[in-house]
Amino acid sequence: MSAAPEVDPDLLTIDELAAAVGTTVRTTRYYASLGLVPPPVRQGRIAYYGPVHRARLELVRALQDHGFTLQAAERVLGSIPVDASVEELALQRAMLTSWSSEPPEVLTRRALEAKAGRRLSAADLELLTRLGAVEQADGGWRVMASLPVGLGLLDVDVPRESLGLAEAAIRRHMEALADELTTILHEQVLEPYRRESTSPDDARRLEETVSTLRRLTLEAVVHGFQRAANAVITRSLAARD
């Protein structure tokens, strides 16, 4: 009897692939049926999946973990060349999730009030929506990371119209800042990486670097605003003397 052919150690069965990525076999098969991962490599009657299959599946998982819908993830994967390497897929993951936080949860109104620890009137929900703390979603409310800030502002003794104007100003300037910072990240960090010869270990280090940059940048934005606010107050007081 002839010996069974040796299997490449980098190849995984669908059970092993699902376990490695942290999903179920059923979900993995479903993603494959959508074309999110390429067809497996077959040896006899057994289907095997390699590093690229795993990298694509990890990209789908990362996108969903950062709030992308499955349809949006499909569009992203559809825009990536079919011959993209593991390193290129890791780069895509770093670029697409670099500034994202944990995905928002969707709650019923009762569950939202339980989370808030208070009853929320129609006016309260309207203000929270204007402040970007919640969004209406199918069958409930999508809760953003800024909910605690929004809840704190509900009891501030200032006109609610003023809060709305302040939120609009913050959003306008934050979007411009995010756009500029993302451009710097892509041009100064990610593009040089893309032009160099890299390994999977390099790709993992890049993701760790981007994650650290994200945290430090957010802290720098807070401290930068505090410095700017203090400077404005100082100038205002000096102008009155």
**Structure confidence by residue, pLDDT tens digits, 78-115:** 888 888 888 778 777 777 766 665 567 789 999 999 99
Which of residues 29 and 160 earns the better pLDDT score? 29
Mean pLDDT for the stretch of residues 15-41: 89
DSSP lists the bridge partners of residue 134 as: 143
Sign, Cα dihedral of 15, 21, 22, 24: negative
CB contact at 8 A, 160 and 195: no
Which of residues 203 and 148 earns the better pLDDT score? 148
Mean pLDDT, the chain, as a whole number?
81
Q: Which residues contact 27 (CB under 8 A, 6 or more apart)?
A: 18
| pLDDT score of 115 | 92
Task: Tokens for 98, please give them.
Answer: 């670099």
| pLDDT score of 15 | 92
Q: In this predicted model, what pLDDT tens digit does every residue of 112-143 receive, in sequence order?
A: 999 999 999 999 999 899 888 888 887 789 88
Domains of the chain from N-terminus onward: 14-84 (1.10.1660.10), 105-240 (no CATH)
CA dist 5 → 8, 9, 44, 194 (Å): 10, 12, 10, 37
Indicate the pTM of the whole model: 0.52
| pLDDT score of 1 | 44
